[in-house]
A and B are shown apart, each in its own frame.
Chain A
Amino acid sequence: MRSQTQTRIYYAILWLIAILFFLPIFWIILAAFKTDADILAVPPKLIFTPTLEQINQTLFGRGEGISNTIPYLVNSLILSIGSVTLAIIVSFLAAYAFSRYKPKATNFLMFLMLSTRMVPASATIVSIFQMYNAFDIGLRGIGLVGPQDTFFRGFPGMLFLYTMFSIPFSLWILKGFIDGVSQRYDETAFVNGASRFHVLFRVVLPQVRPGLIAAFIFNLIFVWNEFLFNFILGTTKSNTQMIPYALAVGLVDAGGNINWGYIASLSMLYVLLPMIMIFFFQKYLLVGMTFGTVRGEV
């Protein structure tokens, strides 16, 4: 048995390691509360008078070039929550069908779905970009959208893209969980005269709640963090540009200087959501980071 002192030292070491990994983020959080002069100070300042000026300017505009970022935050929220919700509904229905009816192509389709998430984003974006532009031209050609409007290069296209982005993971995670719900539940319900819809939403759904939560949280984080698709396909007009876009574009200000205050404050605000998520939903972290292929708690 270890002595109490040894245990304390052991815990202290673990805490130290955790803090060490967090240190770079802590540094950026500090910078978010500094003035521009403090950020650029040599030697770097650890002690300073905190100010909300950076965050204020980032949120509500700082003049020249960079407008306020609240619209981007709103876009991020709407797109991520909207697409993930849609993806989970679609995947839940499909996961039930795959799990209970076991159509012949189940394994092959599940494999294809997973492989779509393993492809580098830049490989997918080449054809999506071409296709979306062409579809929009086509839609304008037959008069379904106005001559200046966009459908695929607008909000719906972006929403669909992120839905597809979230589907493979939701499908894998939910199929795993539905496989874990014994078919006896279904059968008992049928014997008692329940309909399939009743089984689907009242019998199976409540039992896979952890899967739904994990799928929701982690897809939210993934969409929230996505950059390349957004950078290429997002437009100001259609309100589809998200915070990573604002970060990348706002890096250099009109004078050609790097806007460290902007980067620091916006990163700080943006990191909050994933951090809060993994604090409260830590037990889903494993299933979340492995696309639902490994279950268990850490």
Chain B
Amino acid sequence: MQVNMDSATVMERNERAVSLPRRSPVRAFEESKAFPAALLTPILLFFVLLNVIPTMWLIGFSFYRYNLQSPDVPRPACVGGPCPILFALPTPIQVSLTQNLQIIIPAALPVDNYVKIYNDSDIWGAASRTFTFVAVGVTIQVILGVLLGFLFWGSAKMPGRRLALTLLFTPMVVTPVASALFWRLIYEPTFGVLNFLITSFGGQKIDFLTSNQWAFPAVLFVDIWMWTPFMILMTLAALASVPKAELEAAEVDRMSWYKRLWYVILPHGKFILMLGILLRTIDAFKTTDLVFLMTNGGPGNITDLIGLRLYRFAFASLNIGFSSALAVVLLIIAIAFTSIYLWVLNARRTSEA
């Protein structure tokens, strides 16, 4: 009897151990389709609140003549216009929004702002300067970075390597605000150290950041200083991705250095290098803080890059409609860059697989 009781409890316990978790609501939830959805909910909330909705606003604004500086134009409420998010809001908020922000007078044509961008010589000027900035800057960074990267290739046993690499890589993790400001100190015409060096070698003092001739190269130089270490890093990574065995085989075969480069290193290393170049291109295209604090686009508009131009349209001229349209254009460019980046990334995966 006693024995039977015991075995019954044991069986019961076993049964419980197996079946209870399955019955518990937490388990049921974990196995339901709602579970992955629940895991994704927080990120989607953030994404919708801070990316989807602002982008909809941006696109909406870009079709309106909306300028915070001209408050006396009549402002009908945002009804029937392309600012869809307002429809989603509860009525009291909508009313208070339209009363307080007094949104928005539609542009004559839905594409009015885009036509203006197309005809705006300032924007084309800034775009071409940005192109020069990116093309020249990234080219120099890549060449210097690859050369120095190759130089650092054999540094594995260097004494104090960690410290040396920290010093080398610090420029790219310093906030651009700080580097912009302390380079101003270095470039400073009266007591800056650079001008001291120039004059002590018998040259003429140069007021780098206010001279038409020197301002752009001076800003570009700081960008090169900041980001060449990044290309060194990417080159080292690219070289590390070349299998040791193939390098040794090339050594045994006494291949010439350019053959080694072409047939052994490049096929493996090219993807990481390309990713590095692309990331640099995207980042250089985004440059705003640096020019904002070094020259604020000056002298004239010689260092006025597209990011800074947009910032000025939005927050100095307060021309929200127009700057939204420009922001949409930049958004599309950024998405295009991202697709190229991912395309290279996938090409790398398939070539490795």
Contacts of A226 in B (CB 8 A): 175
Judged by a CB distance under 8 angstroms, whether A213 is at the interface is: no
A226 CA / B93 CA spacing, docked (Å): 32
Contacts of B334 in A (CB 8 A): 115, 118-120, 123
Please state if B241 and A296 are interface contacts (CB–CB under 8 Å): yes
Encode contact with A along B283-307: 1 for CB under 8 Å, 0 otherwise: 0011011001100000000000011
Judged by a CB distance under 8 angstroms, whether B30 is at the interface is: yes
Nearest B-chain residue to A139, judged by Cβ: B93
Given that A42-B196, A96-B39 are contacting pairs, would A293 and B345 also be in contact in the complex, using a CB cutoff of 8 Å? yes
Contacts of A15 in B (CB 8 A): 158, 160, 164
Please state if A120 and B286 are interface contacts (CB–CB under 8 Å): yes
A293 CA / B46 CA spacing, docked (Å): 22
Given that A21-B168, A118-B282, A125-B314 are contacting pairs, would A141 and B95 also be in contact in the complex, using a CB cutoff of 8 Å? yes
A193 CA / B17 CA spacing, docked (Å): 9
Please state if B61 and A127 are interface contacts (CB–CB under 8 Å): yes
Please state if B163 and A279 are interface contacts (CB–CB under 8 Å): yes
A298 CA / B28 CA spacing, docked (Å): 45
Judged by a CB distance under 8 angstroms, whether B173 is at the interface is: yes
Contacts of A131 in B (CB 8 A): 53-54, 57
Please state if A141 and B97 are interface contacts (CB–CB under 8 Å): yes
CB B107 to nearest CB in A, in angstroms, measures: 16
Please state if B176 and A225 are interface contacts (CB–CB under 8 Å): yes
Encode contact with B along A262-282: 1 for CB under 8 Å, 0 otherwise: 011011001100110111001
Encode contact with B along A192-235: 1 for CB under 8 Å, 0 otherwise: 01011100000000000000000000000100111110001000
Nearest A-chain residue to B305, judged by Cβ: A120
Interface-centre pick from B21, B173, B236 (highest chain A CB count, 10 A): B173
Please state if B339 and A164 are interface contacts (CB–CB under 8 Å): no
Nearest A-chain residue to B168, judged by Cβ: A18
Nearest A-chain residue to B289, judged by Cβ: A227
Please state if B173 and A277 are interface contacts (CB–CB under 8 Å): yes
A255 CA / B131 CA spacing, docked (Å): 38
A161 CA / B292 CA spacing, docked (Å): 22
Please state if A164 and B170 are interface contacts (CB–CB under 8 Å): no
Q: How many A-B residue pairs have CB under 8 A?
A: 313
Given that A126-B323, A134-B101 are contacting pairs, would A114 and B338 also be in contact in the complex, using a CB cutoff of 8 Å? yes
Judged by a CB distance under 8 angstroms, whether B132 is at the interface is: no
Looking at chain B's contact residues, the main secondary structure is helix
Judged by a CB distance under 8 angstroms, whether B148 is at the interface is: yes
A22 CA / B35 CA spacing, docked (Å): 50
CB B102 to nearest CB in A, in angstroms, measures: 11
Stretch in A57-65, A67-75, A180-188, A283-291 touching the partner:
A283-291
Given that A42-B196, A270-B178, A289-B230 are contacting pairs, would A163 and B46 also be in contact in the complex, using a CB cutoff of 8 Å? yes
CB B329 to nearest CB in A, in angstroms, measures: 9
Nearest A-chain residue to B39, judged by Cβ: A97
Encode contact with B along A131-152: 1 for CB under 8 Å, 0 otherwise: 1011001111110000000000
Nearest A-chain residue to B165, judged by Cβ: A282
Given that A271-B178, A298-B236 are contacting pairs, would A122 and B191 also be in contact in the complex, using a CB cutoff of 8 Å? no
CB A251 to nearest CB in B, in angstroms, measures: 6
Judged by a CB distance under 8 angstroms, whether A44 is at the interface is: yes
Please state if B39 and A44 are interface contacts (CB–CB under 8 Å): no
A91 CA / B40 CA spacing, docked (Å): 9
Please state if B54 and A124 are interface contacts (CB–CB under 8 Å): yes
Please state if A196 and B35 are interface contacts (CB–CB under 8 Å): yes
Encode contact with A along B325-348: 1 for CB under 8 Å, 0 otherwise: 011001100110111011001000
Contacts of B35 in A (CB 8 A): 196
CB A139 to nearest CB in B, in angstroms, measures: 8
Stretch in B116-124, B149-157, B206-214, B246-254 touching the partner:
B149-157
Total B residues in contact with A, Cβ cutoff 8 Å: 113
Contacts of A277 in B (CB 8 A): 173
Picked from A21, A112, A116, the residue with its CB within 8 Å of the CB of B229 is A21
CB A80 to nearest CB in B, in angstroms, measures: 12
A255 CA / B247 CA spacing, docked (Å): 63
Judged by a CB distance under 8 angstroms, whether A103 is at the interface is: yes
Given that A22-B170, A27-B182, A94-B40 are contacting pairs, would A127 and B324 also be in contact in the complex, using a CB cutoff of 8 Å? yes
Judged by a CB distance under 8 angstroms, whether B219 is at the interface is: no
Within 8 A of A (CB), among B27-54: 27, 30-31, 35-36, 39-40, 42-43, 46-47, 49-51, 53-54
Please state if B97 and A225 are interface contacts (CB–CB under 8 Å): no
| Partner-A contacts on B (CB < 8 A) | 17, 21, 26-27, 30-31, 35-36, 39-40, 42-43, 46-47, 49-51, 53-55, 57-58, 61, 89-90, 92-93, 95-97, 100-101, 148, 151-152, 154-155, 158-160, 162-179, 181-186, 190-193, 196, 200, 225, 228-230, 233-234, 236-237, 240-241, 272, 275-276, 279, 282, 285-286, 288-289, 292-293, 306-308, 310-311, 314-315, 320, 323-324, 326-327, 330-331, 334-335, 337-339, 341-342, 345
Q: List 22 A-B contacts (CB under 8 A).
A: A21-B167, A24-B179, A90-B42, A94-B39, A115-B334, A119-B331, A121-B288, A127-B327, A134-B97, A138-B96, A141-B97, A141-B100, A164-B49, A195-B30, A225-B175, A228-B311, A263-B182, A263-B185, A274-B174, A275-B170, A293-B345, A294-B237
- Given A122-B327, A293-B341, 14 further pairs, Cβ under 8 A: A15-B160, A24-B186, A27-B186, A98-B40, A113-B47, A121-B307, A134-B101, A160-B49, A225-B176, A228-B311, A263-B182, A289-B233, A293-B345, A294-B234
| Partner-B contacts on A (CB < 8 A) | 10-11, 13-15, 17-19, 21-22, 24-25, 27-28, 31, 39-44, 89-91, 93-94, 96-98, 100-101, 103, 109, 111-116, 118-131, 133-134, 137-142, 160-161, 163-164, 167, 171, 193, 195-197, 221, 224-228, 232, 243-244, 247-248, 251, 258, 260, 263-264, 266-267, 270-271, 274-275, 277-279, 282, 285-286, 289-291, 293-294, 296-298
* Leading 6 A-B pairs by shortest Cβ distance: A141-B96, A225-B175, A138-B93, A123-B327, A97-B39, A274-B173
